[in-house]
Structure 1
Amino acid sequence: MKALFMPLVLGTLLASPLAPARDLGQLEFTPCDLSQPGTGATTRLECATLEVPEDPGKPDGRKLRLKVGLAPARSSEPEADPVLFIAGGPGQSATESYPSIAGGFSRLREKRHVIFVDQRGTGEGHRLACDFPDEMAEGAASDEQLVTMARDCLAGFDADVAQYTTSVAVTDLEALRQALGAPRLNVYGGSYGTRVAQEYARQYPDGVRSLLLDGVVPPELALGSEHSINLEDSLKAILGRCADEPACSEAFGDPYRTLYALRDQARSQPLTVQVADPRTFEKRELKLDEPAVAIIARLFAYSPETAALLPLLLDQAAKGRPESLLAQAALVYDSLAGQINHGMQLSVICAEDAARLATREQDADLILGNAIVGVTLNQCSVWPRGPVSEGFNEPLRSDVPTLLLSGELDPVTPPRYADQVAASLPRSRHLVGKGQGHILLARGCTPRLAAEFVDALDPEGLEADCLEVLGASPFFLDYNGAAP
């Protein structure tokens, strides 16, 4: 795609952040409201549309219209190198997930525009979303049901789902860059978005000025292969801290043992419990069985705020009062379920990871067990597999300045993953937030550090002592909160 404006023109071109409409290169942006499904998070930004071929090898074939978002810089003369935000999942829409993390970009927006585009398969007009039957939502579907769900989902799409892999999706990012006038980008990726960011840097190194990788996925990793052991390590640390604190251990004993006791109890005697929906207050039946306990433990470990509730809710459930646990779990699960486009997720994982997945005997009796691997292998048995670029699973080797971010207690992308990626990036630095979970950008002083890094491109020069004040949230000892 031919660029209409060169990068040095871009900063001048974007000088009026509150204009009702603005042109960035070939794209016209107009005001829009972006909201996150399942939450009240909404923000007023600007949107445009980027048209790309569904199959890059057939430029005259079917087209996809991708929604592009712009969070304008506050400066009247923005820098010429914008920040590109890449969402996670796989399966999250960038324009839908940005409102929940917008605060993390506050300092970056002082000088630079933040731009993002819905990854193919996640946005309006090309969404690869599947309806989850009740059994799937509860984690209790049989192998046959899982395969049937994948077949039914596939049959409902008017799309070549093989063209929705990471290797194809990064061609859309380059099309966006060219449409903007070919500026060099400061690329931020969170979670699965770090895989996309690394693949973009591999395929289009001249387009990348810097990388910010948050909740890092190594290219060598098969997604899902270590979810079980990573969650276990996180739960041991989170719940072990409660057992080591006098007030928490006096109230709840050993919550890690309680978790397994509740799992065993739910396995042998599953319960159907009627609770008040936490949003509508209407009566709702929820099941407390073994898969439900695994889902609850996993979701609550993602952030320090929900982790702080876990000992109390586990204790109440183990004593025959699971209503609060299930209601809180429904609140978290419902807010996430609408954000993931499962068909797009399958297009990514089946092509890039499934061939390297296998159930592991050592994981079988852990809280998460082999559930995720089993679901993936069953559904991928009938899902088309698209292109994966050469060297996709090799470490990214680059001298691009890189800042890597991790939460100490992240249950899905632990800090060791970022260390692994940093080993082949000589101009990189890894920062870890104490007591934090998945995604660090919006925590503490991280927004300032990210902006300073992008300004100076000197990760080693960052004064990151401010992160030392971070820590885990105090445990709730009752429904009024932590002890004073």
Structure 2
Amino acid sequence: MVAALTAGVGVTGTASAGAELRWAPCPENAAVECASLAVPIDWDRPQRGSIEIAVARAKATGQREGVLLHLPGGPGGSGVGALVGGGVLTPELAERFDIVSIDPRGTNRSHPVRCPSDVLSQMPDLVPETGGRHAELKAYSRRLGEACRALTGPLIDHVDAVSVARDIDALRAALGERRLSVYGISYGTLTGQMYAERFPHRVRALLLDSVFDHSLPTRRFLATEARAGEDSFAEFVRWCARESSCALHGQDVGEVYTALYQRAVRGELRWPDEPGERLDVLMFVQTAIGRLYGPDWPGLADFLDALTRAPAPTPAPTPAQTAAEATDMPIAAFCGDHDFAIGSQRDWERAWRDMRREAPTVGGHFAWVAVSLCADWPADTGNPQHRTDVDGGPVVLLMNSRFDPATPLEWAESVDRQLDRSFLLTYEGWGHRVYDRSGCTLDATHRYFLDGRLPTHSRCSAVEPTPADTAPAESAASPAPVPGTGW
């Protein structure tokens, strides 16, 4: 650990010696400053070229304590966009800290990984029970990755969370800060763990909110995700049974969902507002799980009800895409952080059955898409799965909902066991993102960042969701042509 840390600091110091952040008002919001930071494409071979990382800063409104770095989820979340859009943390924290955020390398304003839209549109069937073939999937994964490399260049081999962590330390040096306070949400908690692992003594405080566990092998990763989705959906069913305003109140919600799932398997399901477009199995599952992030229970009930009422007309032809069109592909970062080994059709089907067994109603999880598309990804896996090993630094505060459809509580409990110095605060309620769920979670967040004190209790009581909770959490991905980046 000492040797690795010394090497990391040395490279960062060299790369940042002449670095300068030239702040200017952001075009979208003059109250926030924007800048860019040049970093090496490959931190181990900085002479091979550089890219610009987009950075945003909202300066402290009161007596400044230091910098609080916000790490967005995704992969593919825009920290710059979130900060420009009106702030990402509370006014109490914004008073004492410069709130700084980034678009991680390979995403958004930071040289996004780009892939040809025509290749993306040719995605094979990813579902074994609808005829998907593992060999076709692997061939497609490699073809897509090579096509993305042709548009993106060598950066595609260096978009993993360790590379982002090294960018963060270069940013710290450019900001002139000895240490950073860090808040990571969802997939941003993986980056936070990698930063603490490499640069523990550069961390003043680290809050991991909705915790990503980077230690899981393939089948356990998928099974735990499926179980999280199923448990969260069961809470929705209980709400619908007791709430007369639920569009499915009085019905067997599980049966309604299962019937829709089977229609999706048969290719008979269409989007309610776009009846010419087929709604396949994985997009149906992802859309349902996405409604559990808030959670938006009324919206999920309305969505399922609309699907049951909508006819299934003949789909309209899909407009042809030209090879000149390109789409951002943040899932490349996920492939850079995971080495998922599924060697055969039999193993692939077994993994699918594991998911179905853990989620007998919901039927799966969007994580299946991410794992499948990384099946034979040709770029480097720079940061394969491992237990987080942090040697020194502050006590890490972890927060997680009991019913989180994307980052299950058992992940947070696992990371808590991996860290020598940590404290897990469990929110006994629902949804994805915890710190601002209640007065209890807010108080814990403020005490930790402002005063360096840990919570006096390990649990916060649930607060019934309100209409304000219906919007997806910051890190939640909305349905997209390539799903699977919803952390």
Aligned with residue 159 of structure 1, among 154, 158, 161: 154
Look up the equivalent residue of 1:310 and give its one-letter code: L
**Once the 2 structures are TM-superposed, how far is the Cα of residue 260 of structure 1 from its aligned partner?**
1.0
**Once the 2 structures are TM-superposed, how far is the Cα of residue 112 of structure 1 from its aligned partner?**
0.8
* Structure 1 residues 163 and 251: alpha-carbon distance in aligned structure 2, compared to 1, 3 A threshold: closer
Q: Is the 8 A contact 1:213 1:402 kept in 2?
A: yes
* 1:33-55 Cα shifts (integer Å, max 9, x gaps): 45xxxxxxx68410122111111
* Secondary structure of residue in 2 paired with 1:209: strand
Instruction: Check if 1:90 corresponds to 2:75.
Output: yes
**Once the 2 structures are TM-superposed, how far is the Cα of residue 447 of structure 1 from its aligned partner?**
4.3
Q: Is the 8 A contact 1:434 1:471 kept in 2?
A: no
Q: Which moved more, 1:261-270 or 1:186-195?
A: 261-270
Aligned match of 2:379: 384
Instruction: Check if 1:58 corresponds to 2:45.
Output: yes
Aligned match of 1:251: 249
Instruction: Check if 1:102 corresponds to 2:56.
Output: no
Instruction: Check if 1:423 corresponds to 2:417.
Output: yes
For the aligned residues, what is the CA RMSD? 3.7
Number of aligned pairs?
A: 420
* 1:343-385 Cα shifts (integer Å, max 9, x gaps): x432442453424896422224643437744653454414221
**Once the 2 structures are TM-superposed, how far is the Cα of residue 227 of structure 1 from its aligned partner?**
2.5
Look up the equivalent residue of 2:32 and give its one-letter code: L
Q: Is the 8 A contact 1:263 1:290 kept in 2?
A: yes
Aligned match of 2:268: 270
Structure 1 unaligned segments of length 5 or more: list them: 6-24, 35-41, 277-283, 324-339, 477-484
Aligned match of 1:11: none
Look up the equivalent residue of 2:294 and give its one-letter code: S
Aligned match of 2:475: none
* Secondary structure of residue in 2 paired with 1:156: helix
Look up the equivalent residue of 1:420 and give its one-letter code: S
- C-alpha distance in 2, partners of 1:293/1:43? 39
- C-alpha distance in 1, partners of 2:294/2:249? 22
**Once the 2 structures are TM-superposed, how far is the Cα of residue 64 of structure 1 from its aligned partner?**
1.1
Instruction: Check if 1:410 corresponds to 2:404.
Output: yes
Q: Is the 8 A contact 1:396 1:425 kept in 2?
A: yes
Q: Is the 8 A contact 1:240 1:255 kept in 2?
A: no
Q: Is the 8 A contact 2:270 2:312 kept in 1?
A: no
* Structure 1 residues 89 and 232: alpha-carbon distance in aligned structure 2, compared to 1, 3 A threshold: same
**Once the 2 structures are TM-superposed, how far is the Cα of residue 222 of structure 1 from its aligned partner?**
5.0
Q: Which moved more, 1:352-361 or 1:417-426?
A: 352-361
Q: Is the 8 A contact 1:190 1:439 kept in 2?
A: yes
- C-alpha distance in 2, partners of 1:250/1:372? 27
Q: Is the 8 A contact 1:68 1:117 kept in 2?
A: yes
Instruction: Check if 1:237 corresponds to 2:215.
Output: no
- C-alpha distance in 1, partners of 2:107/2:400? 25
Aligned match of 2:32: 45
Look up the equivalent residue of 1:235 and give its one-letter code: F
**Once the 2 structures are TM-superposed, how far is the Cα of residue 210 of structure 1 from its aligned partner?**
0.9
**Once the 2 structures are TM-superposed, how far is the Cα of residue 107 of structure 1 from its aligned partner?**
1.9
* Secondary structure of residue in 2 paired with 1:251: coil
Look up the equivalent residue of 1:69 and give its one-letter code: A
* Structure 1 residues 379 and 418: alpha-carbon distance in aligned structure 2, compared to 1, 3 A threshold: closer
**Once the 2 structures are TM-superposed, how far is the Cα of residue 216 of structure 1 from its aligned partner?**
0.3
Look up the equivalent residue of 1:318 and give its one-letter code: T
Aligned with residue 288 of structure 1, among 251, 258, 279: 279
* Structure 1 residues 372 and 99: alpha-carbon distance in aligned structure 2, compared to 1, 3 A threshold: same
Aligned match of 1:435: 429
TM-score (norm 2): 0.75
- C-alpha distance in 1, partners of 2:248/2:64? 55
Aligned match of 1:468: 461
- C-alpha distance in 2, partners of 1:187/1:121? 21
- C-alpha distance in 2, partners of 1:319/1:368? 21
**Once the 2 structures are TM-superposed, how far is the Cα of residue 273 of structure 1 from its aligned partner?**
5.6
Aligned with residue 117 of structure 1, among 83, 102, 127: 102
* Structure 1 residues 438 and 55: alpha-carbon distance in aligned structure 2, compared to 1, 3 A threshold: same
Q: Is the 8 A contact 2:207 2:397 kept in 1?
A: yes
Aligned match of 1:30: 24
- C-alpha distance in 2, partners of 1:93/1:311? 29
Aligned match of 2:168: 173
Look up the equivalent residue of 2:161 and give its one-letter code: T
Aligned with residue 126 of structure 1, among 94, 104, 111: 111
* 1:150-179 Cα shifts (integer Å, max 9, x gaps): 332232222342122112221111111111
* 1:275-300 Cα shifts (integer Å, max 9, x gaps): 36xxxxxxx73223433321221211
Q: Which moved more, 1:222-231 or 1:177-186?
A: 222-231
Look up the equivalent residue of 1:62 and give its one-letter code: G
Q: Is the 8 A contact 2:232 2:430 kept in 1?
A: no
Look up the equivalent residue of 2:40 and give its one-letter code: P
Q: Which moved more, 1:63-72 or 1:129-138?
A: 129-138
**Once the 2 structures are TM-superposed, how far is the Cα of residue 84 of structure 1 from its aligned partner?**
1.0
Aligned match of 1:300: 291
* Structure 1 residues 265 and 115: alpha-carbon distance in aligned structure 2, compared to 1, 3 A threshold: same
Look up the equivalent residue of 2:111 and give its one-letter code: H
**Once the 2 structures are TM-superposed, how far is the Cα of residue 272 of structure 1 from its aligned partner?**
4.3
Look up the equivalent residue of 1:116 and give its one-letter code: S
